[in-house]
């Protein structure tokens, strides 16, 4: 979910107008509108204020993902041991992910 959809969903779940959410969170209605249209990229602090204004807690997490690290000889050896088809499939999946991320960050009309 991109940040625009996150803000729209948060506001909708709590049945708030943009003006109501902006007052509760200490920002402007124009900023909430810009967030919801993907024109503004918020920081974590603003997302936390918006969530708090709705009585929710913003929770960020991480999870391990396959990664390439030049300084890890064992990892390089495991990578080289994989078939060319497996390497190509992973590269294709990574490219698809980059395209999805770009599309989610592009301003929506």
Distance in angstroms (rounded) separating the CA atoms of residues 51 and 6: 10
- Map out the domains of the chain as residue ranges: 3-53, 73-105
Distance in angstroms (rounded) separating the CA atoms of residues 50 and 16: 11
3-53 topology per CATH: 434 Repressor (Amino-terminal Domain) (1.10.260)
Distance in angstroms (rounded) separating the CA atoms of residues 33 and 87: 42
* 43-82: pLDDT as tens digits: 999 999 999 999 999 998 887 766 656 667 787 788 788 8
Could you tell me the pTM of the whole model? 0.58
* 4-44: pLDDT as tens digits: 999 999 999 999 999 999 999 999 999 999 999 999 999 99
* 89-109: pLDDT as tens digits: 888 988 988 888 888 887 776
């Amino acid at each position: 979910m991109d940040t625009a959809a996150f803000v729209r969903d948060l506001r909708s779940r709590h049945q708030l107008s943009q003006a109501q959410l902006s007052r509760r969170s200490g920002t402007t209605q124009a900023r909430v509108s810009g967030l919801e249209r993907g024109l503004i990229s918020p920081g974590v602090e603003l997302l936390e204020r918006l969530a708090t204004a709705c009585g929710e807690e913003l929770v960020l997490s991480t999870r391990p993902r396959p990664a390439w690290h030049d300084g890890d000889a064992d990892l390089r050896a495991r990578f080289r041991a994989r078939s060319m088809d497996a390497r190509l499939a992973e590269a294709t999946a990574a490219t698809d992910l980059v395209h999805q991320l770009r599309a989610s960050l592009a301003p929506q009309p």
